[in-house]
Structure 1
Amino acid sequence: MPHSIRVRDLYEALQERLQLEWLAGHSGADSTILSSSSDAGTGIIAGPLNYIHPNRVQVIGPAEERYLNSLYSPNRQQALQQLFAERPALVMLVDRVEGLPELAAMADEAGVALMRSPLGDSQVLDNLQYYASLFLSEKTTLHGVFLEVLGMGVLLTGDPAVGKSELALDLITRGSRLVADDAPEFTRIAPDIVSGTCPPILREFLEVRGLGILNIRQMFGDSSIKRTKYLRLIVHLKRMSADQISGMDRLSGAHAIRDVLGVQIPQVTVPVAPGRNLAVLVESAVRNHLLRLKGYDATEVLIERQQQAILDQS
């Protein structure tokens, strides 16, 4: 994530979702809305027109427009001057509000961006606050390849050159989707949810030793790329000898819990050795985890069957 969010960043991120139209004040494109020094405790960047506690994004809906239209011309002009004197980063008209005729000229003069969205004020505010909360949330970068495997967000980790990228490429050919290679960024967006994405400069690329940099979108199409995904499972690749593999717990496998931004993420260790089909093993690990989430544990079922067999014999 950037160290600050400018008006142009917000416009690019939410233009399609909010159907934004940039009306005036284009010189304010680089005005800062949020920075890394912003108070994460409040996280409030937008709200209805407020002269007492101005927001970085001042929203004008039907109620605010009715108020402004109710004022006598000198008072309305004074109210608009006060609005721009507080130097908001952005003034946004919502709910199909056309805005007062003088708004565009005053926005250009003040260098404050003026935009319009046809959506209702509550929907616009929800999206703005969610966008702000993502920026202010705690973040971390983990080394690995982040994929969507069978609909689940899976992070492949392991020592350098263990085969993460080759495995990711194999999974992509089998229908998985790439989120991020090498340095996926994770953000805690809820007490128990961690969302992962890719830094813009690395988006769509996968580095495979011997092949170099591959553009996955160009090779496999748009459906091979996923912009963001919740992290649900970590698959740790570990080189092991035949003796080490034979010494692993054959019933329950190598399961653990890894703390990521205070959220407990299940982790399974998959041994890397010649002759092992890692793509099938990862997909099987995902299917098994989905069964566990539904309450089914194959190990417990096997133990119960063994106990029942012993009782039957006795």
Structure 2
Amino acid sequence: MKVTVEMLIKKVKLEVVYAEPEHLQKEITTADISRPGLEMTGYFTYYSPERIQLLGMKEWSYMMAMTPHNRYSVLKAMFKEETPALIVARNLEIPEEMIRAAKKKGTPILKSRMGTSQLSGEISWYLNACLAERISVHGVLMDIYGMGVLIQGDSGIGKSETGLELVKRGHRLVADDRVDVYAKDEETLWGEPAEILRHLLEIRGVGIIDVMSLYGASAVRDSSQVQLAVYLENYEPDKVFDRLGNQGETLELAGVKIPFVRIPVKTGRNVSVVIEAAAMNYRAKNMGYDATKTFEERLTKLINQNGGHA
């Protein structure tokens, strides 16, 4: 995904101190942020000009203690053509030498009222999400009780129809058919729709429907964490399915493992209700309650009471 300085300004609500219109279209290519402390002393051996440059109180105080001539020299060396922008936190004063150097190299100067740590966190969160490598998986991503559930399954088994039924039950559609997933960190998987398919569902026999237009804005989400994967497969008498929920299968996507359950589908079975139950059961396990473990404990107690015979 391409991220420009203008997109960052809108997302983080930054104030533009200096920038020509073409400067706002500069592309940000890395989520890494530089706090140019050593650079203020004139040390540029390991300088990374392609990063967002962020000035907090420490860097600003050191800079303001310089003579105007030295300040201009350091800032001119800091600004390169590939530098996306320099951002000053805490609404600190922008010296005239900074604007002069920025004009010479075409580098936007931005400002924020936020503290440096908070601002750095918000910028990193946004850039990491936008610039993370994405992989596309086939399925339907739903927000069920605030939890992201990826529904996959055999072709024609009714994934989109199940998604529509879940929307009617008050849950939210994130993506249908193609889900773009990426690792937000080592343990967090995130999913979003392809832009061309946003808010759309394809129902065989009906065609494409716009869920937001038909059911309202509360029926859709633009993105969601993916916390559980469900695979729908046709029921066959000779197939063995997990009945106790103790197999603990996982699915790995983008290097992140998430819990994975298989649900058999046959005529008359309300799949949407079963998926709701799977989502709630997963949440209960995360909160420390495991129904399978409770059943096993009760069974063990019963066996012991009956002298070793259930």
Q: What's the TM-score once normalised by structure 1's chain length?
A: 0.82
Does residue 1:117 correspond to 2:105, yes or no?
A: no
TM-aligned CA deviation for residue 254 of structure 1: 7.5
Deviation of 1:138 (Å): 5.0
- State the partner residue of 2:15: 21
Choose which of 1, 6, 10 in structure 2 pairs with 1:8.
6
* Structure 1 residue 151 corresponds to structure 2 residue 146: yes
Change (3 A) 1:81 1:73: same
Deviates more, 1:293-302 or 1:167-176: 293-302
Query: Helix, strand or coil: the match of 2:75?
Result: helix
Q: Extract unaligned runs of 5+ from structure 1.
A: 36-42
Counterpart-to-counterpart distance in 2, 1:278 and 1:87? 52
Task: Verify: 1:195 aligned to 2:190, yes or no.
Answer: yes
Distance 1:308 1:122, change over 3 A: closer
Q: Which residue of 2 aligns with 1:39?
A: none
Take 2:290 and 2:73, find their aligned partners in 1: how far apart are those partners? Answer: 69
Aligned-residue Cα RMSD (Å) equals 2.8
Distance 2:92 2:191 in 1: 36
Evaluate the alpha carbon distance shift between residue 65 and residue 206 of structure 1 in structure 2; reply closer, same or farther with a 3 A threshold.
same
**What is the aligned-residue identity percentage?**
31
For residue 157 of structure 1, report the CA deviation from its aligned partner: 0.2
Q: Find the partner of 2:62 among 55, 63, 67.
A: 67
Task: Give the 3-state SS of the residue equivalent to 1:122 in structure 2.
Answer: helix
For residues 77 and 312 of structure 1, do their structure 2 counterparts lie closer, same or farther at Cα, with a shift above 3 Å needed? closer
Aligned counterpart, 1:44: 32
CA–CA distance in structure 2, aligned partners of residues 294 and 67 of structure 1:
49
| CA–CA separation in structure 1 for the residues paired with 2:103 and 2:252 | 49
What is aligned with 2:264?
271
Q: Which residue of 2 aligns with 1:40?
A: none
Q: Cα deviation per residue 1:156-189 (whole Å; 9 max; x = unaligned)?
A: 0012321111111111121211222222222222
Q: Distance in 1 between matches of 2:99 and 2:187?
A: 44
User: Matched residues in 1 for 2:297 and 2:66: separation?
Assistant: 78
For residue 171 of structure 1, what is the aligned residue in structure 2?
166
The SS at the match of 2:69 is helix
Matched, 1:219 2:214: yes
Task: Report the TM-score when normalising by structure 2.
Answer: 0.83
The equivalent of 2:125 in structure 1 is 130
What secondary structure does 2:96 align onto? coil
Instruction: Name structure 2 gaps, 5 residues minimum.
Output: none
The 5 Å alignment of 1:208-287 reads: 208-241=203-236, 243-244=237-238, 248-252=241-245, 256-287=249-280
1:149, 1:128 → 2: CA distance? 28
Given that 1:90 and 1:114 are in contact with CA atoms closer than 8 Å, whether structure 2 keeps it comes out as: yes
Q: 1:228 to 1:85 in 2, by over 3 A?
A: closer
- The 10-residue stretch of structure 1 (78-87 or 164-173) with the greater mean CA deviation from structure 2: 78-87
Whole-Å separation in 1 of the counterparts to 2:107 and 2:140:
41
Deviation at 1:115, TM superposition (A): 1.4
